[in-house]
């Protein structure tokens, strides 16, 4: 049994704090924000309802070049330079121009936290319940900061707008099991016998497999097909984890709060790839916050610039959402199989996957002010 690290009962003492930056959520997006603030000399408080890395939130696969760019290979499990895609009529092998890697969630979070480390950085476990202006309410008390980030995932807890709730909200849903086992291929199933609109997967990660089903329609159940797929692969359905996945971009700034990752709908439609984009927009958000802390911009300028940065991706998100809707209608037709076959052509696959990677390119990871030596930073802003 895993030991629960999160403070419970009497250990959950009262927490009342003022800080310069309050980052709510300590998964991919929140930790990427904190990483960009390392050494900025500010009081940064990160809160999450669980200890860092305690609760895995995804199948944990992302482009390998993002892992190397962020120096996260210490959490690496396996890499794949092709995708094996099954439809009821054909199995295709798509050769990728770059590889995907699986990783260990807890280890990756620990690495990001290490990179964020600075004397005035603190972490507290607390459940965020809401916000009044620059005061964030938690189950342990009130936290205040002029700069607030919501990296809390799809619930978008710090928004005071009307809550969106599944199954009516624009959300996909995903569920997976983590049986012990080994595999060589990253496999996808586009097969209506598992899910009508969506896809199923098996991601090998060292000595475990992550087998699951994602539905583009929130009202479609994913548990039964997940168990069935595991059974079809002769695997026990053990180690469940699942969540809702937003598939539409939302406002990245609301009421002077920065929203990043799933809370801003940054997960990509069609593929439900949300780790790379949570890191990407988290870094972008962190860089804007750092500019405020270093006196290079005002809070208002940072809010405007970050919102504009997120909005500048809207067309690409719309294209992917259009493809997601189309894919939902084509399943399980021969037209879809023809499309899957077309990507077997290496040049077609290279073009598609390069365009896809360019939505949030790994070069962005090294482009921030955090990675510049202090002398160059000073010169750049002189
Ligand atoms: C089954 C499944 C498999 C997936 N597989 C992949 C994959 O292989 N690759 C990929 O790129 N994407 C995958 N995704 C999508 C990906 O998981 C998300 O897009 C990604 O986790 C978003 O990161 P985030 O940091 O924005 O939010 P999250 O990872 O959801 O993190 C939110 C954080 O906020 C904390 N939190 C939430 N509410 C509160 C609260 N009220 N108070 C305090 N803390 C709170 C949570 O504990 C968590 O730490 C998958 C999703 C699912 C459901």
Residue keyed to tokens 């480390």: 117
Binding site membership of 215 for ligand 1 (Cβ less than 6 Å): no
In a domain, 1, yes or no: no
Per-residue confidence (pLDDT) for residue 5, from 0 to 100: 55
In a domain, 124, yes or no: yes
In a domain, 127, yes or no: yes
- The span from the CA of 247 to the CA of 188, in Å, is 19
Per-residue confidence (pLDDT) for residue 247, from 0 to 100: 86
Ligand 1: distance of its center to the CA of 344 in Å?
A: 31
Ligand 1: distance of its center to the CA of 57 in Å?
A: 4
Binding site membership of 101 for ligand 1 (Cβ less than 6 Å): no
Residue nearest to atom 28 of ligand 1 (CA): 153
Ligand 1: distance of its center to the CA of 312 in Å?
A: 23
Domain count, the chain: 1
Binding site membership of 265 for ligand 1 (Cβ less than 6 Å): no
Ligand 1: distance of its center to the CA of 32 in Å?
A: 13
- The span from the CA of 268 to the CA of 278, in Å, is 10
Residue nearest to atom 10 of ligand 1 (CA): 273
The pLDDT profile of the chain, 382 residues, written as one tens digit per residue, is 334 456 666 667 899 999 999 999 999 999 999 999 999 999 999 999 999 999 988 879 999 999 999 999 999 999 999 999 999 889 999 999 999 999 999 999 999 999 999 999 999 999 999 999 999 999 999 999 999 999 999 999 999 887 667 766 789 999 999 999 999 999 999 999 999 899 999 999 999 999 999 999 888 899 999 999 999 999 999 999 999 998 889 999 999 999 999 999 999 999 999 999 999 999 999 999 999 999 999 999 999 999 999 999 999 999 999 999 887 776 667 788 888 999 999 999 999 999 999 999 999 998 765 644 443 444 434 3
Cα 263-264-268 angle, rounded to 5 deg:
105
Q: What is the CATH number of the domain that holds 57?
A: 3.50.50.60
In a domain, 3, yes or no: no
- pLDDT tens figures, 151-186: 999 999 999 887 667 766 789 999 999 999 999 999
pTM: 0.94
* 260 CA closest ligand 1 atom index: 26
**Domain span including residue 362:** 10-380
Nearest to 157 by CA among 243, 54, 48: 48
Ligand 1: distance of its center to the CA of 90 in Å?
A: 32
Q: Count Cα neighbours of 28 within 13 Å in the Cβ-side half-sphere.
A: 30
> What is the token pair recorded at 98?
């770059």
Mutate to test the pocket of ligand 1, among 30, 57, 213, 226 (most ligand atoms within 8 A of CB): 57
Binding site membership of 324 for ligand 1 (Cβ less than 6 Å): no
Per-residue confidence (pLDDT) for residue 58, from 0 to 100: 81
Binding site membership of 63 for ligand 1 (Cβ less than 6 Å): no
Binding site membership of 183 for ligand 1 (Cβ less than 6 Å): no
In a domain, 319, yes or no: yes
Per-residue confidence (pLDDT) for residue 373, from 0 to 100: 43
Per-residue confidence (pLDDT) for residue 366, from 0 to 100: 84
Dihedral of CA 114/118/124/129: which sign? negative
In a domain, 33, yes or no: yes
In a domain, 244, yes or no: yes
Residue nearest to atom 27 of ligand 1 (CA): 153
In a domain, 2, yes or no: no
Mutate to test the pocket of ligand 1, among 59, 156, 216, 225 (most ligand atoms within 8 A of CB): 59
């Amino acid at each position: 049994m895993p030991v629960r690290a999160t403070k419970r009962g009497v250990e959950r003492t009262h927490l009342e704090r003022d800080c310069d930056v309050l980052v709510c959520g300590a998964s991919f997006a929140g930790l990427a924000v904190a990483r960009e603030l390392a050494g900025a000399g500010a009081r940064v408080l990160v809160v999450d309802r669980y200890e860092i890395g305690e609760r895995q939130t995804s199948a944990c696969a992302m482009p390998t070049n993002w892992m190397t760019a962020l120096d996260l290979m210490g959490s690496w499990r396996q890499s794949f330079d092709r995708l094996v895609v099954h439809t009821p009529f054909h199995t295709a092998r798509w050769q990728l121009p770059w590889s995907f890697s699986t990783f260990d969630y807890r280890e990756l979070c620990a690495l990001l936290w290490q990179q964020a480390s600075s004397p005035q950085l603190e972490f507290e476990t607390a459940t965020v319940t809401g916000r009044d202006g620059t005061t964030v309410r938690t189950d342990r008390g009130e936290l205040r900061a002029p700069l607030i980030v919501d990296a809390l995932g799809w619930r978008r807890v710090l928004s005071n707008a009307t809550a969106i709730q599944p199954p009516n909200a624009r959300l996909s849903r995903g569920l997976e099991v983590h049986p012990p086992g080994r595999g060589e291929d990253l496999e996808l199933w586009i097969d209506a016998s598992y899910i009508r609109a969506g896809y199923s997967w098996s991601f090998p990660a060292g000595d475990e497999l992550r087998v699951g089903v994602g539905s583009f329609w929130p009202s479609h159940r994913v548990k039964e097909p997940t168990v069935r797929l595991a059974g079809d692969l002769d695997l026990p359905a053990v180690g469940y984890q699942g969540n809702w996945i937003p598939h539409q971009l939302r406002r990245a700034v609301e009421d002077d709060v920065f929203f990043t990752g799933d809370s801003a709908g940054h997960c990509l439609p069609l593929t439900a790839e949300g780790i790379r984009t949570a890191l990407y927009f988290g870094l972008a958000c962190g860089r804007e916050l750092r500019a405020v802390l270093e006196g290079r911009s005002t809070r208002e300028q940072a809010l405007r610039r970050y919102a504009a940065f997120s909005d500048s991706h809207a067309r690409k998100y719309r294209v992917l959402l259009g493809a997601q809707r189309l894919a939902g209608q084509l399943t399980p037709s021969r037209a879809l199989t023809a499309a899957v076959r077309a990507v077997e052509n290496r040049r077609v696959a290279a073009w598609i996957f390069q365009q896809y990677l360019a939505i949030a390119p790994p070069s962005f990871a090294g482009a921030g002010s955090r990675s510049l030596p202090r002398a160059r930073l000073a010169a750049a802003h002189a």
